[in-house]
Amino acid sequence: MAERNRQLLLNLVQKEGNNVCAECSAAGPEWASCNLGIFLCPDCAQNHRGLGTDISRVKNINIDNWEDNQLQALTEIGNERARRVHEQFLPPFYRNPSQGKCSILRNEWILAKYVRREFSDPDKQTAYCSHIKEGYLMKRGKRDKRFQKRKFILSKSENKFIYYNRENNPKSKAEIDLDFLNAVFTPEKIGNPNGLQITFFEGGSTRNMFLYSENRKDIVDWYMAIRAAKYERKKIAFPEKDDSFLTEDLTRDFLIEGWMYKCGPRNEPYRKRWFTLDRRKLMYLEDPLDPYAKGEIFVGHRDSKYSIEAGAPPGKAGPGHSFTLHTPTRTFYMCVDSKDEMDQWVSVLKKVIDMPISPQDTKIASLLEPKRSSGGMFSR
């Protein structure tokens, strides 16, 4: 009996739809929920265990013993049928964990799905679907670098993300155009598990704003509200387009970040800087939490004479493993401490250079253009 159940279980997990995690789409799930009838990766299974056995009872596919009734639930339900039940009213803009490894998104996705049942009842989505969202977040000061409580408003009709420095001051400190705003969870950088980095254009350059909330659900609601507002604006602008187009690039994780050494334009010594690649925008800062980048490089397409290669010519190599970024107007020499880091940077930059230029890329390039130096780069 045990061997027959084991074979049945293995057949079920190899079935199309069940062969990926029901939550994050990771391949080869090793766990399953007996009562929900779904298959899970180890990370999502850990979150399910935190829900309690009355909601989700999780067992290992390869180690645990399975009863006939438990296998029956997996046979009758499975990932696809469960998704139709628990994601019946999933908003198109809502980001599930399949697009990255952000733990805060994974945690809140599973809670929203099975505990709060937000995707089974649209009336439970007001925290991120309402016309205006107001609340308070902790914001890092641009000059004093301390986190202080600030009021924020997100207005869909005005297409603005607004914040105020003073409680009773009717004049806003900043009104940020959502078209050029990006939101990225960066908990390690900010030093808070609910840390959110907002980037936007200010005076022709990128401004970084660092926020967090004491409540994990609250910061995820703000993140989803930003995505909801941007989605609705795109839907009005492109009514004939489907959701795959409308949800593309609502927010985007940074492609890669880390410390590197950069050679100055006039054979200056290599200096250590924090680099962030945001799609085609390569920024470098003295400190990861600086409000402004010291420089921004637009990384264009290979047909416009952009290229990347490992190594550097004699006399240009840095104190580590060097690589070279060629642009139409300037060549940049950078280096990192290990070969693995260099390979990773070169690989990611090559993928960006090979990507087609999008209309959004063209807009970003035009916004950076007024502040660029003759070397094809904006620097402060």
Give the containing element (helix H, strand E) for 307. strand 307-310
Q: Do residue 117 and residue 149 come from a single domain?
A: no
Cα-based distances in Å from 125 to 112, 122, 131, 134: 10, 5, 12, 15
Cβ 23 vs Cβ 109: under 8 Å: yes
What pLDDT score does 292 carry? 94
Q: Does 249 map to a domain? A: no
* Average pLDDT of the residues in 321-337: 94
Q: Does 104 map to a domain? A: yes
Cβ 263 vs Cβ 318: under 8 Å: yes
pLDDT greater at residue 309 or residue 170: 309
Q: Do residue 84 and residue 145 come from a single domain?
A: no
Count the domains in the chain. 3
State pLDDT tens for residues 7-60: 888 888 889 999 999 999 999 999 999 999 999 999 999 999 999 999 999 999
Q: Do residue 90 and residue 183 come from a single domain?
A: no
Q: Do residue 78 and residue 151 come from a single domain?
A: no
Q: Does 366 map to a domain? A: yes
Cα torsion angle, 215, 221, 223, 226, sign: negative
Any idea what the CATH number is for the domain that residue 143 is in? Answer: 2.30.29.30
Q: How are strands ordered across the β-sheet holding 182-185? A: 174-177, 160-164, 147-155, 132-140, 205-212, 195-202, 182-185
Q: Does 246 map to a domain? A: no
- Alpha-helical (H) ranges within 142-270 are 187-190, 216-237, 243-246
Q: Does 251 map to a domain? A: no
Q: Is 142 helix (H, G, I), strand (E, B) or coil?
A: coil
pLDDT greater at residue 334 or residue 365: 334
Give the pLDDT band of residue 100 (cuts 50, 70, 90): low
Cβ 179 vs Cβ 233: under 8 Å: yes
* Average pLDDT of the residues in 237-256: 94
pTM value is 0.92
Q: Do residue 20 and residue 117 come from a single domain?
A: yes
160: left (phi over 0), alpha (psi -120 to 50) or beta: beta
Give the pLDDT band of residue 205 (cuts 50, 70, 90): confident
Any idea what the CATH number is for the domain that residue 72 is in? Answer: 1.10.220.150
**Which stretches does DSSP call E strand in 114-255?**
132-140, 147-155, 160-164, 174-177, 182-185, 195-202, 205-212
Say yes or no to pLDDT of 71 above 80.
yes
Q: Does 351 map to a domain? A: yes
State pLDDT tens for residues 104-144: 999 999 999 999 999 999 999 999 999 999 999 999 998 89
Among the candidates 88, 105, 122, a domain finishes at: 122
Minimal CA–CA distance to 25: which of 6, 8, 9, 38? 38
Q: Does 30 map to a domain? A: yes
What are the backbone angles phi and psi of residue 229, rounded to the nearest 5°?
-65, -40
Q: Do residue 111 and residue 138 come from a single domain?
A: no
State the Rg of the chain over Cα.
24
Q: Do residue 154 and residue 112 come from a single domain?
A: no
- Of all residues in the chain, what percent carry a pLDDT higher than 70? 96
Token pair for 221: 């609601």
Give the pLDDT band of residue 264 (cuts 50, 70, 90): confident
Among the candidates 209, 241, 273, a domain finishes at: 241
Give, rounded to a whole angstrom, the gap between the first and last alpha carbons of the chain.
71
Q: Do residue 264 and residue 340 come from a single domain?
A: yes
Among the candidates 103, 122, 141, a domain finishes at: 122
Say yes or no to pLDDT of 371 above 60.
no
Q: Do residue 90 and residue 178 come from a single domain?
A: no
**Which stretches does DSSP call E strand in 17-120?**
31-33, 38-40, 58-60
State pLDDT tens for residues 139-160: 999 889 999 999 999 999 999 9
pLDDT greater at residue 255 or residue 101: 255
**How far apart (Å, rounded) are the C-alpha atoms in residues 312 and 95?**
40
Q: Do residue 22 and residue 115 come from a single domain?
A: yes
Q: Do residue 234 and residue 342 come from a single domain?
A: no
**How far apart (Å, rounded) are the C-alpha atoms in residues 52 and 334?**
50
**How far apart (Å, rounded) are the C-alpha atoms in residues 270 and 318?**
7
Q: Do residue 88 and residue 115 come from a single domain?
A: yes
Say yes or no to pLDDT of 1 above 50.
no
Q: Does 344 map to a domain? A: yes
Domain assignment of residue 117, given as a range: 2-122
